[in-house]
Amino acid sequence: MLVVTRYRVHPDDEDGFLAEAESALAALSRRPGYLEGSIGRATDDPSLWVVSMRWESVGAYRRGLSAYDVKVTAVPLLSRAIDEPTAFEVLRGDGATEPNRPEPRGSTTGSLGSS
């Protein structure tokens, strides 16, 4: 699974943001299921930054977020992210998996209306 969070960072806050992002990735990297992470900046818009991570699964990512050190270190950074979807399935390339089938939470039958 791929997690991509984007941030608007004022030029005066670049050093602080980078330090916060590095600390967040360090905390997350110690969690089971974390594969890799990176911090980047848009070449055409230096105020737009990205933190990307790869995880074994969405469950590993969610469990990683629930760890105390991650809540203290990474969640403050993640809460500053641009409000948009951040979790993506990898369908082709390294780490690709079968696509998830959309179904309502709590469904045990796999389809609506089945008994």
pLDDT in tens, 58-106: 899 999 999 999 999 999 999 999 999 998 888 888 877 777 776 665 6
Q: What's the confidence (pLDDT) of residue 98? A: 76
Question: Domain 2-86: which CATH class?
Answer: alpha beta
Which residue is it, tokens 């004022």? 10
pLDDT tens-digit profile of 25-57?
A: 999 999 999 999 999 999 999 999 999 999 999
Q: How far is CA 35 from CA 28, 32, 60, 105, 107, in A?
A: 10, 9, 10, 27, 30
